[in-house]
A and B are shown apart, each in its own frame.
Chain A
């Protein structure tokens, strides 16, 4: 496996990683640092498979330390970052949309003498979130509507229409629903994600140990929910892009669970291979039997959930509506843990598949190490042959 890995190091702590979703040719990832020092950076990594090298473009993220990055699936140059700002004796978490310079402008910049070591941004747009709350958790691009953003702030969930510059609060966890601690400490949403299905009307939000699906057309309309999905916090989720109603979650109990939202009583698939909290879970976009998960036990695990994937024999091929590229039926591996990647030395908060090459993924640990790895050849061949 060793020759499959490529390591890229940051000098600062980092917790944000995302593939460049709008890019369709090259394997590109964004990473950003999470440091209280004033010089936070955002790197665009481009992986060259033939040469086995990583080329990086470094941008400055002067706004503050980055907690989360999301890239726009419609525009390769657009990404959203969530960052901390210190205001007096308070720390606020805000969000901004960043636009990369186009190649032309970059070239022209290159011609000039280098004023700084960083490439400047084409545009920085700070989102108006102050009214919503102090703590932005994530900004999610709508999978099909380019102008729509979902913003999870504190205990509120808001949908923004960029074109109209309008913001609408869709859901709010009030103290009434969140138990006994009273108004003093409201447990906020942890994160969230757009559902790939339901015509993009559903947004899945994580709250404490539960998952809630809100219909964004109607305020406070909870379509369905899974209470106590995990024994402790639910840290992350991902929707199966090829199979409706299926989603994967990871939580503080170290478990990875695949759910069918039509059957909220129990998971359809469950593993607990991690020995600490699971911080991120991702379906492979092309072969959704492969699930990538990262954990604070310093490991990245590649798990196969073939029996509940869209590729499983017996499931209706019609489920594979999102991708037209799955004409032939691929072979399904047997369920279970496929591979452990333990080259990280610190907690791995992010692991992401490449949106271009189904066999490549990147993982980022807190100590700033990015590792770009490949699915081991034997599994790759088993699936495609």
Chain B
């Protein structure tokens, strides 16, 4: 409901008195109506009195306003007369002023003329004294001032050159300046000037209208000469260290070069010359470029020569610091000369140095390796038999690894983060870093492997223990060293070799090392086997087996063979722990005093024929027995690779020895006692060899073959009683 339209609100404009009354009468009680009437009457009275008060107040105000207006009217009239008076006075001032100006006019123009004349006179005086002044200035060598004065006068001459009096002065000046020019030119060309003065003279000459292009080329020529002198001077500084050398170069040569280049740039390239051809600037820039590169080239070649002669001898750090400084300087120079390119980079020198250092280190590593090898060899040859082999190996191995580590650390210097250069950022540099891995480390490891393989060659007459030492060293490298070193280099130089196609993988080197270790070990086995063979062969060949007496003892050679094997085993035991199946072996034949050998075949083991001790004489008569046994036995390879375990190595040696014995026995003819001697010997070997090997069946098989062959080669094959053999053998 709209409030405004409420017809029952007395304050609203749409108040309807009739309806209000109607509503009142309808809705309210009498009492209420009477109350309402009283209220309305009261209200009406209040409103009425209010209205009267307001009207009265307004009336008062109106009367006071009328009074004020009347007063103002009077004041304005007085002011008007004052203003009129002021106007008249001003007019009289103006007329006076005009009168004064008119009288002073003439004097002022005179003054102007006088001052003009004065300056002209001054200039004339300057001109007339100019030649003398120039001379004086030149005497004082204040060339700059002289040139400035002359140039100043030049303008005047240009203006008034026609007059004869000036002409004389001009000629004098020109002559003097010509002389000055000549002198400047001489200075320009004469040696011994710093680049600074060269630049100054250049600028003066330029102001004296020297031909720009000539001057430009002349400047470069002279600067070139001067820089060349510096280079020559630097060349002689061989006794200074690298840092001083580079500092000198930077202070002298490079600063001069930078000065020449910047002034040349400012003088010829940055400015535009009207009277020169359009492409002058371009040509000048080109010439400057060539000049700059030529000189930087010369200098860097000098530095490079120096680096090449120093690397590997002096302190690498000092040199790198010097090169770093140089690199910074050149970098700065590159920034100065915008529009110019310095082709050659110090980085190349640094990379070259790195390469060279690598080579030097590689060589020193190889030398060191050769030295330590000969040291090992010497100590093996010279010392008594009780050399501690594992100590030797340890020394050789540790020395080698430490040396490599040292070298790797040493080369790290190239990658120090506080150098301003970053080798790895450039392709060549990255290759160089990889080269450290490939050529230095891998190359050296390969070298080790190759040199060591050389010892494994049959023809080389190395002491057997040397082969053993080298083999073990290779093995150690294969198992730890290679991995450790390659991980180290990858880590230090942050090379990701795992994912690289070009880098040599660790396993390749490991394989090579293992191969070498194997070859050396095989060579050792052959060598020792041959020594044993030689003893056995001599013993069989030199004896008269037909006419020997009944055996009473084991032949001395057999004891020597066993002793020899014993000492070999002792040596081996210090290097190789006995194989894992040692426990099995001891259980199989721990009873060394057993009376007869009985076949105790393990189902899983290869079966070797080994029961000659059970032969009856009738069996011995038939070669079929051995042939049938042979069918079920495995072939025995004699000259084969052995495993890296004590038992396998000794077994390899024993095999070679016993096979030799077999072949020698087959070439001889035996009497009864000869055969029995062989029987005794074989039994002795059987009693003693089992403890060296893991598979005594193989030994027994070979001994069976020997005795079997001896039986075949015997004129009267009667074997001794096993008990008797036993007794002889135990007697020793």
Task: List residues of chain A with CB under 8 Å of any chain B CB.
Answer: 11-13, 35-36, 84, 86, 89-91, 185, 231-232, 253-255, 272, 274-277, 296-298, 342, 345-347, 366-368
Q: Which of B111-119, B171-179, B469-477, B709-717 contacts A (4 or more CB under 8 A)?
A: B709-717
B639 within 8 Å of A (CB atoms): yes
Instruction: Return 6 A-B CB contacts under 8 Å, by A number.
Output: A185-B541, A185-B542, A297-B637, A297-B638, A342-B635, A347-B666
The one of B638, B714, B715 that contacts A86, using a Cβ cutoff of 8 Å:
B715
Residues in B with CB closer than 8 Å to A297 are 637-639
Expressed in whole angstroms, the minimum distance between the Cβ of B441 and any Cβ of chain A is 33
Cβ-defined contact, B630 with A346, below 8 A: yes
Expressed in whole angstroms, the minimum distance between the Cβ of B333 and any Cβ of chain A is 62
Cβ-defined contact, B669 with A253, below 8 A: no
Expressed in whole angstroms, the minimum distance between the Cβ of B426 and any Cβ of chain A is 46
* A253 (CB) vs chain B CBs: closest residue: B458
Expressed in whole angstroms, the minimum distance between the Cβ of A153 and any Cβ of chain B is 17
Cβ-defined contact, A275 with B459, below 8 A: no
Cβ-defined contact, B663 with A277, below 8 A: yes
Contact with A along B536-548 (1 / 0, CB 8 A): 0000011000110
Residues in B with CB closer than 8 Å to A91 are 546, 669
Residues in A with CB closer than 8 Å to B623 are 11-13, 367-368
B361 within 8 Å of A (CB atoms): no
Residues in B with CB closer than 8 Å to A272 are 639
Q: How many chain B residues have a CB neighbour from A under 8 Å?
A: 26
* A10 (CB) vs chain B CBs: closest residue: B623
Cβ-defined contact, A275 with B640, below 8 A: yes
B611 within 8 Å of A (CB atoms): no
B659 within 8 Å of A (CB atoms): yes
Expressed in whole angstroms, the minimum distance between the Cβ of B200 and any Cβ of chain A is 79
Complexed CA–CA distance, A12 and B713 (Å): 12
Expressed in whole angstroms, the minimum distance between the Cβ of A343 and any Cβ of chain B is 11
Expressed in whole angstroms, the minimum distance between the Cβ of B715 and any Cβ of chain A is 6
Complexed CA–CA distance, A254 and B669 (Å): 25
Known: A91-B546, A232-B530. A13 touches B712 (CB 8 A): yes
Task: List residues of chain B with CB under 8 Å of any chain A CB.
Answer: 458-459, 530, 541-542, 546-547, 623, 626-627, 630-631, 635, 637-640, 659, 663, 666, 669, 671, 712-715
Residues in B with CB closer than 8 Å to A36 are 669, 712-715
* B717 (CB) vs chain A CBs: closest residue: A36
* A36 (CB) vs chain B CBs: closest residue: B715
Complexed CA–CA distance, A346 and B631 (Å): 11
Expressed in whole angstroms, the minimum distance between the Cβ of A269 and any Cβ of chain B is 16
Residues in A with CB closer than 8 Å to B626 are 367
Complexed CA–CA distance, A384 and B711 (Å): 48
Complexed CA–CA distance, A36 and B716 (Å): 9
Expressed in whole angstroms, the minimum distance between the Cβ of B427 and any Cβ of chain A is 42
Complexed CA–CA distance, A208 and B453 (Å): 28
Expressed in whole angstroms, the minimum distance between the Cβ of B88 and any Cβ of chain A is 142
Residues in B with CB closer than 8 Å to A231 are 458-459, 530
Residues in B with CB closer than 8 Å to A275 are 637-640
Cβ-defined contact, A274 with B546, below 8 A: no
* A279 (CB) vs chain B CBs: closest residue: B663
Cβ-defined contact, A298 with B712, below 8 A: no
The one of A84, A232, A368 that contacts B669, using a Cβ cutoff of 8 Å:
A84
* A12 (CB) vs chain B CBs: closest residue: B623
Expressed in whole angstroms, the minimum distance between the Cβ of B457 and any Cβ of chain A is 11
Closest 5 CB pairs of A and B: A275-B639, A276-B638, A275-B637, A345-B630, A89-B547
Cβ-defined contact, A254 with B663, below 8 A: no
Cβ-defined contact, B659 with A276, below 8 A: yes
The one of B630, B659, B715 that contacts A296, using a Cβ cutoff of 8 Å:
B659
Known: A13-B712, A86-B715. A345 touches B458 (CB 8 A): no
Cβ-defined contact, B459 with A345, below 8 A: no
Expressed in whole angstroms, the minimum distance between the Cβ of B609 and any Cβ of chain A is 11
Question: 9 other contacts beyond A185-B541, A366-B666, with CB at 8 A cut-off?
Answer: A36-B712, A232-B530, A254-B639, A274-B639, A275-B639, A342-B635, A347-B663, A367-B626, A367-B627
Cβ-defined contact, B666 with A89, below 8 A: no
Residues in B with CB closer than 8 Å to A11 are 623
Expressed in whole angstroms, the minimum distance between the Cβ of B324 and any Cβ of chain A is 55
Residues in B with CB closer than 8 Å to A232 are 530
Residues in B with CB closer than 8 Å to A185 are 541-542
The one of A296, A345, A347 that contacts B631, using a Cβ cutoff of 8 Å:
A345
- Among A13, A276, A347, A368, the most chain B Cβ lie within 10 Å of the Cβ of A276
Complexed CA–CA distance, A255 and B666 (Å): 21
Complexed CA–CA distance, A277 and B537 (Å): 13
* B629 (CB) vs chain A CBs: closest residue: A345
Cβ-defined contact, B530 with A35, below 8 A: no
Residues in B with CB closer than 8 Å to A90 are 546
Complexed CA–CA distance, A346 and B624 (Å): 13
Residues in A with CB closer than 8 Å to B546 are 89-91
Expressed in whole angstroms, the minimum distance between the Cβ of B630 and any Cβ of chain A is 5
Complexed CA–CA distance, A352 and B429 (Å): 64
* B641 (CB) vs chain A CBs: closest residue: A275
* A230 (CB) vs chain B CBs: closest residue: B458
Complexed CA–CA distance, A35 and B659 (Å): 21
Residues in B with CB closer than 8 Å to A346 are 630
Expressed in whole angstroms, the minimum distance between the Cβ of B648 and any Cβ of chain A is 15
Residues in B with CB closer than 8 Å to A347 are 663, 666
* A345 (CB) vs chain B CBs: closest residue: B630
Complexed CA–CA distance, A113 and B639 (Å): 53
Expressed in whole angstroms, the minimum distance between the Cβ of B628 and any Cβ of chain A is 10
Complexed CA–CA distance, A11 and B600 (Å): 31
Expressed in whole angstroms, the minimum distance between the Cβ of A332 and any Cβ of chain B is 28
Residues in A with CB closer than 8 Å to B640 are 275
Expressed in whole angstroms, the minimum distance between the Cβ of B63 and any Cβ of chain A is 147
Expressed in whole angstroms, the minimum distance between the Cβ of A18 and any Cβ of chain B is 19
* B545 (CB) vs chain A CBs: closest residue: A91
- Among B639, B659, B713, the most chain A Cβ lie within 10 Å of the Cβ of B639
Complexed CA–CA distance, A272 and B630 (Å): 26
* A228 (CB) vs chain B CBs: closest residue: B459
Expressed in whole angstroms, the minimum distance between the Cβ of B660 and any Cβ of chain A is 8
Residues in B with CB closer than 8 Å to A89 are 546-547, 671
Cβ-defined contact, A35 with B712, below 8 A: yes
Expressed in whole angstroms, the minimum distance between the Cβ of B408 and any Cβ of chain A is 39
Residues in A with CB closer than 8 Å to B714 are 36
Residues in B with CB closer than 8 Å to A255 are 458
Residues in A with CB closer than 8 Å to B635 are 298, 342
Known: A90-B546, A231-B530, A297-B638. A345 touches B669 (CB 8 A): no
Residues in B with CB closer than 8 Å to A84 are 669
Expressed in whole angstroms, the minimum distance between the Cβ of A82 and any Cβ of chain B is 13
Expressed in whole angstroms, the minimum distance between the Cβ of B380 and any Cβ of chain A is 21
Residues in A with CB closer than 8 Å to B638 are 275-276, 296-297
Expressed in whole angstroms, the minimum distance between the Cβ of B515 and any Cβ of chain A is 16
Cβ-defined contact, B627 with A345, below 8 A: yes
Residues in A with CB closer than 8 Å to B671 are 89
Complexed CA–CA distance, A142 and B714 (Å): 35
Residues in B with CB closer than 8 Å to A366 are 666
Residues in A with CB closer than 8 Å to B663 are 277, 296, 347
Expressed in whole angstroms, the minimum distance between the Cβ of B557 and any Cβ of chain A is 15
Complexed CA–CA distance, A27 and B39 (Å): 166
Complexed CA–CA distance, A36 and B717 (Å): 11
Complexed CA–CA distance, A232 and B712 (Å): 26
Residues in A with CB closer than 8 Å to B639 are 254, 272, 274-276, 297
* B670 (CB) vs chain A CBs: closest residue: A36
Complexed CA–CA distance, A297 and B631 (Å): 15
Complexed CA–CA distance, A90 and B542 (Å): 14
Expressed in whole angstroms, the minimum distance between the Cβ of B267 and any Cβ of chain A is 74
Expressed in whole angstroms, the minimum distance between the Cβ of B688 and any Cβ of chain A is 24
- Among B458, B547, B630, the most chain A Cβ lie within 10 Å of the Cβ of B458
Complexed CA–CA distance, A342 and B637 (Å): 12
* A89 (CB) vs chain B CBs: closest residue: B547
